[in-house]
Amino acid sequence: MTVRTVSRTVGIATASALIFIAACSSGSGESPAPVTSSATESALLPLDPAALDAMVEDVATTSREIGMVVLITTPDGEYVNTRGSVAADRSEVPTLDTKVRIGSNTKTWTGTVILQMVQEGLLSVDDPVSKFRPDVPNGDAITIGQLLDMRSGLYSYTQTVELNEALDTDPSRVWTAEELVALGLSNPPNFPPGEGYSYSNTNTVLLGLIAEKLDGKPIAQIFQDRLFGPLALVGTSYPATTDTSIPAPFTRGYSYSGNVETLGEGKEALSPERIAAIEAGSVQPRDTTNDNPSWTSAAGQGISTANDLATWVRALVKGDLLDADTQTLRMDSVQPTDPDNPSSAGYGYGLAQMGPMFGHIGEMPGYNSFMGYDPVNDLTMVVWANMAPGTDGSAPAAALAGSLAKALYAQQSGPSSGAEDTADDIDEVAEDTGK
């Protein structure tokens, strides 16, 4: 079922250039290039429900989605598409208040509470991580800011064979944050601190442990007190490590992929033989709903709704829970993930930039979600899917968000278009957040 509300007055929003000059947050000794995107200079197109519907149907069909939800708001109207069902054996259509596991969108929560503690004087982005975690190798040279912006070089524990084998053989296992950090630290770093960008869940789990140490509370309580309560995010929660349930109403999650079989560069897609078996109907997806999410910890254990994610991502980008100086610090931290390509996707203090939108992407077996807010054009987009990853290794919600951007942003003159650049940026961030 599709529900749409579009205002009668539809125009093209006027956009001004949005350029954030990234501060030197990773100790490289050099001023990084500005994070820009040609899409930030693009005006919005009028909402075209038929075109948007066709894009949703195309991605949903290709990805074999059981359910998808799309929420787009602009100054000119709103588009909502609630497609399919909340479960394979039910006909109940999802809504904007259906709860879903949001994976790495949780990182924006962790980054925000750390920055709140920065403005409270409990720590600084320039503090060495060894001040709080003496066990981190080379911790004297890694700053809190480098944990936040993924430039510490620390190996991501989610890339270890040990974790992925355990997720396949014992999906109910309860993981502690300390176990996860130990897995990451047992591997050599990817590069010296500040000398590259590498998305690592180890960074964010460490930040969660540091937040607990400084606030004297479990991370779930920290999120409730500092984020969920002040913003009235009533459909949002961070479950206990032993809790595999999702509060009602919720969607079940499904996946055709195993963890080990898709681990490693170039191995994200399923084999042609397995895809053929899926197409023939001889292989059914696994229900991942009640897999224990504790392996994601402060990097991905959150639960939310489309409505709450829209509220959250707007507050995140506008700085509603930070003072002006700290929000400026955050936005100025955003740097290109590819230093040789200034127009690549950007990443900063627990925040991704994808064209003119800032937000994040989350993925875990069975669930994929995208949230983005464009502060120039006042556009909000939230997408989630309950079959993930795709058989080709893609992130379905992110893929749909990239397609939708092409129908939302005007094309530009020149060698590339704002809409295409935004879609490319979304793809880049989706590749990082897969694991």
- Does 32 fall in a domain? no
- Chain centroid to Cα 180, Å, comes to 19
Q: Is residue 301 part of a domain?
A: yes
Measured in Å, how far apart are the chain's first and last C-alpha atoms? 32
Count of positions (residues) in the chain: 435
Q: Which residues pair with 137 in a beta bridge?
A: none
Helix axes 106-119, 324-332, angle to 10 degrees: 130
Residue 254 lies in a domain: yes
DSSP 31: P
Rounded distance between C-alpha atoms, residue 283 and residue 220, angstroms: 37
- Residue 406 within any structural domain of the chain: yes
pLDDT tens over the chain, length 435 residues: 333 443 322 222 222 222 222 223 333 333 333 333 333 445 899 999 999 999 999 999 999 999 999 999 999 899 999 999 999 999 999 999 999 999 999 999 999 999 999 999 999 999 999 999 999 999 999 999 999 999 999 999 999 999 999 999 999 999 999 999 999 999 999 999 999 999 999 999 999 999 999 999 999 999 999 999 999 999 999 999 999 999 999 999 999 999 998 887 656 788 889 889 999 999 999 999 999 999 999 999 999 999 999 999 999 999 999 999 999 999 999 999 998 888 889 999 999 999 999 999 999 999 999 999 999 999 999 999 999 998 888 899 999 999 999 999 987 544 344 566 777 778 777 777 766
Range of the domain at 327: 38-433
Please tell me whether residue 14 adopts helix, strand or coil conformation: coil
Question: How many distinct structural domains can be found in the chain?
Answer: 1
Q: Judge if the upstream peptide bond of residue 249 is cis by omega within 30 degrees of 0.
A: yes
Residue 200 resides in a domain: yes
The 67-74 sheet, strands edge to edge: 77-84, 67-74, 379-385, 367-374, 357-364, 351-354, 346-348, 335-336
**What is the rounded distance in angstroms from the CA atom of residue 289 to the CA atom of residue 392?**
21
- CATH code where residue 272 lies: 3.40.710.10
pTM for the model:
0.89
Asked if 380 and 47 touch (Cβ cutoff 8 Å), the reply is no
Tokens representing residue 182 in the block:
């130990």
Pairing of strands 379-385, 367-374: antiparallel
| Residue 365: predicted pLDDT | 96
For residue 91, tell me if it sits in a domain.
yes
What's the token pair of residue 319? 């700085």
**Residue 92 has which token pair?**
């109940």
Query: Taking the CA atoms of the chain, what radius of gyration do you get in angstroms?
Result: 20
pLDDT at residue 24 in the model: 31
Domain presence at residue 379: yes
Q: Is the residue at 410 inside a domain?
A: yes
Residue 204: per-residue pLDDT: 98
